[in-house]
Copies of this chain bind each other. A is one copy, B any other.
Amino acid sequence: MTDDDIAGFFARRGDLDPDAYLELDFDFECAGDPRAAAAHLCSEQSTAQWHRIGIDEDFRPRFAARVVELEVSPRPAGFSLPVTCAASGPVHACRATIAHPHGNFGPRLPNLLSAVGGEGVFFAPGIPLIRLQDIRFPDAYLAAFEGPRFGLAGLRERLNAHGRPIFFGVIKPNIGLPPDAFAALGYQAWLGGLDIAKDDEMLADMAWCPLAERAALLGQAARQAARETGAPKLYLANVTDEVDRMPALHDEAVAAGAGAVLANAMPVGLSGARMLRRHATVPLIAHFPFIAAFSRVPMHGVHSRVMTRLQRLAGFDAVIMPGFGPRMMTPEQEVLDCVHACLDSMGPIKPVLPVPGGSDSAATLETVFRKVGHVDFGFVPGRGVFGHPMGPRGGAASIRQAWDAIATGTPVRDHAARHAELAAALQAFGTP
């Protein structure tokens, strides 16, 4: 590129129509001139060849992505990882914000992903390491998406659960139980105080535990538990399957008694999830398989908060995500970023319930609550409910007892002195 070519891929934010552009925050490491690298990053993700041979035309004014911010700092030690790269010259770490015209591809998730996480981004000359850190959409773009049907408020209403976290539990053993035994565990956990008993994200519609049979028994158990406790209870059925089978699985599960459905967002694809959203009549919950493959390494890939935003855009009402603590290998700030991405303002797209999870129990609830800083989250133990020494009813009760303590300002350990289930949970799952 000439200096003029490079300049053609830079713009002042104020000179661009804000309704026409997405904003993308990238961190990258490049070899050679950082301004040239940033210009290539724009050209590769939009219009890398902006005129025909021998014809005086320029597609850049309408179709080019533009650098609107660029910060550069030298890395005298070179790239932070061993990488293959054609460019030579001094290495820099850069932070760039790029305005990308969404009119290049429209309000379609696969085409959005192809533009902001495709060849143009990951194969820009001179940039072997790059991470999409965040994405912002103008309302004009968001308006073309359905977004969540229920969202946080709708989910609370369905559960008649206000002013407190939503209590989920992953029925365990997750793989291997037949439907009747599986439903019996869910029933006990609902009696103990769970709002939502859920399938593990790996549990499919298998001959050894068919979804229709599972949903019928769990639906019945949820209704029974609701009658006994006076509180709504939901069975969250995993309908993750080939995308062309998910709508029928949803219908089967809901007809049988499921009150919400789970889909693994990356494995079914964000577009498969959006298809399910257009069809579904109950809340949709996302789970996080595969995301850590491209979000864990700090200097490459895609930040998990971008995926949270995209799951919200696809129409999920709640997003299960890796939670706090070193067990889940996710930095605390990243968990908080994902929690905020569920709740912050996103034009016409409703806020959704963040569910930071992983090895939780009555012993971790207070920490999670303090870190999140408010009650708008879901809490999703597995073993903490279903591996509780007094069984799932005791396990669920221990969670609710822990919450009662937190909500009334009683130290959880003091409360445990008067509540056997909580005491057993702290003993089994707490740090000594």
Contacts and interface: CB of A to CB of B under 8 A. Distances in A.
Contact of A118 (B202, B383, B387): B202
A268 B174 contact: no
A110 interface: yes
A89 to B, nearest CB: 13
Nearest to A176: B59
Nearest to A111: B204
B50 A173 contact: yes
Interface string A168-180: 0000111111000
A175 B111 contact: no
Contacts of A117: 267, 289-290, 293
Nearest to A394: B53
Interface string A313-347: 00000000010011111110000000000000000
Contact of A84 (B118, B204, B300, B330): B330
A220 interface: no
Given A297-B300, A327-B86, A202 B288 contact: no
A83 interface: yes
A411 interface: no
Contacts of A181: 52
Contact of A275 (B243, B296, B322): B243
A69 interface: no
A71 interface: no
Interface in A332-375: 358
A47 B176 contact: yes
Interface in A73-102: 81-86
Contacts of A45: 202
A49 interface: yes
A105 B269 contact: no
Contacts of A15: none
Residue from A45, A54, A63, A243 with most neighbouring chain B CB atoms (10 Å): A243
Interface in A276-322: 278, 287-290, 292-294, 296-298, 300-302, 322
Residue from A85, A185, A269 with most neighbouring chain B CB atoms (10 Å): A269
A49 B174 contact: yes
A289 B174 CA distance: 33
A325 B86 contact: yes
Copies in the complex: 2
Nearest to A288: B119
A173 B49 contact: yes
A62 interface: yes
A293 B131 CA distance: 8
Interface stretch (A6-14, A120-128, A148-156): A120-128
Contacts of A294: 290, 293-294, 301
A108 interface: yes
Interface in A193-233: 201-202, 204, 206, 208
Residue from A83, A84, A275 with most neighbouring chain B CB atoms (10 Å): A84
A106 interface: yes
A300 B293 contact: yes
A299 to B, nearest CB: 8
A242 interface: yes
Given A53-B389, A59-B177, A242-B275, 19 more contacts: A47-B173, A47-B176, A51-B173, A52-B173, A84-B329, A84-B331, A104-B204, A104-B206, A109-B267, A113-B290, A114-B240, A119-B287, A122-B292, A122-B293, A243-B275, A271-B272, A272-B272, A293-B302, A297-B300
6 contacts: A49-B174, A52-B177, A105-B206, A128-B296, A244-B278, A294-B301
What 7 pairs between A and B have smallest CB-CB spacing?
A269-B269, A118-B289, A59-B176, A86-B326, A122-B292, A110-B267, A294-B294
